[in-house]
Amino acid sequence: SSKVLEAIENVIQDVLQSLAQYKAPVLTLANRSDWRNIEQFKDSVGLQMIQDCTMTQIRIDCHRSALKFALMLKILSMIYKMVQSNTYATKRDIYYSDTLLFGSQTVVDNIVNDISCMLKIPRRSLHILSTSKGSVAGNLSYTEEDGTKVSCTCSGTVFNVPSNVEGIKNLISHAKFMLIVEKDATFQRLLDDDFCKKLSPCIMITGRGIPDLNTRLLVRKLWDSFQIPVFILVDADPHGVEIMCVYKYGSVSMSFEAHHLTVPSIKWLGILPSDLKRLNIQKEVLIPFTKRDQNKLSSIQNRPYIACQPTWKRELEIMAASKLKAEIQALTSISSDYLSRVYLPNKLQFGGWL
């Protein structure tokens, strides 16, 4: 707490000194969208911001950034008060404290991330919580920060990912592996099929698409705690690959927190583009690429971590050549329970992952 308060005080002191010298105050932070700010890629860490990175300035005397400057000071003030009083707020709480001032939730989300990057302090230490959208089930129990005991081990029981992942303790699990599932519908279907128990005890997590910060933090915390294999099941399309990359390597915009958010050991279990031909999935259930799909795939293929993954590279080339994509649900064209009864057990038993 003292570190957070001191960091905010230093920022405000710089602003006051500029004003005292009749200079326009400036807030300086790393450019979070610049690939040049990413360290030469390390497979063991993921995308990590370099020390000497290009910076961006938020100036009060610039029409384009004056409002953002004011909003950053406003949220810094709110953070300072929360840390002092040991209270917490969600990003949604901040937005609804003055919707006319902030304009949209996205504005608040971006400014909170900018402040975290500027202060070099993880967002959870700023007493700002995110509303979790992810779910967890399977062989896992833990105690939340307020003392609430959570047990996911009951068959079919699903819990929301905690809003304060750092605060959970007493984690217990006998799981043999962890399975990240892209979609909630697939997650629920696997639960209905009792997948968490049938093959061997496991933990299942879904971020319902692009994962929020708390889901990524929980995956990392479970991996740190249990050191079990982590697999991911996504659609065989550029969007699914993007989601997998966020879990495994992180994102450029959050690269300043790579050590806390990425799990580089994640294995791509499916759906692999090569599976579509191997399993003789009929073309009628495949979906043609859109221009957006082509652009996304091209972007992923040019990223530095793909060079470290020759097997991934080959799968992406298969996808690019076919210009077809498949949802996980395409496996139901073989049989309704093919995913849980045949596909996943065979993959896990015989090493069908990348």
Q: CA-CA distance, 31 to 105, in Å (whole number)? A: 21
Which candidate in 96, 249, 305, 343 is catalytic?
A: 96
C-alpha distance from residue 311 to each of 90, 231, 315 (Å): 40, 16, 6
Contact 168, 194 (CB under 8 A): no
CB 76 within 8 A of CB 94: no
Is 96 known to be catalytic? yes
- SS3 string, the chain, reads CHHHHHHHHHHHHHHHHHHHCCCCCEEEEECCCCHHHECCCECCCECCECCCCCEEEEECCCCCCHHHHHHHHHHHHHHHHHHHHCCCEEHHHHHHHCHHHHCCHHHHHHHHHHHHHHHCCCHHHHCEECCCCCEEEECCEEECCCCCEEECCCCCCCEECCCCHHHCEEEECCCCEEEEECCHHHHHHHHHCCHHHHCCCEEEEECCCCCCHHHHHHHHHHHHHHCCCEEEECCECHHHHHHHHHHHHCCHHHHHHHHHHCCCCCEEEECCHHHHHHCCCCHHHCEECCHHHHHHHHHHHCCHHHHHCHHHHHHHHHHHHHCEEECHHHHHHCCCCHHHHHHHHHHHHHCCCC
Task: Count Cα atoms within 13 angstroms, Cβ side, for 283.
Answer: 5
Supply the residues annotated as catalytic. Answer: 96
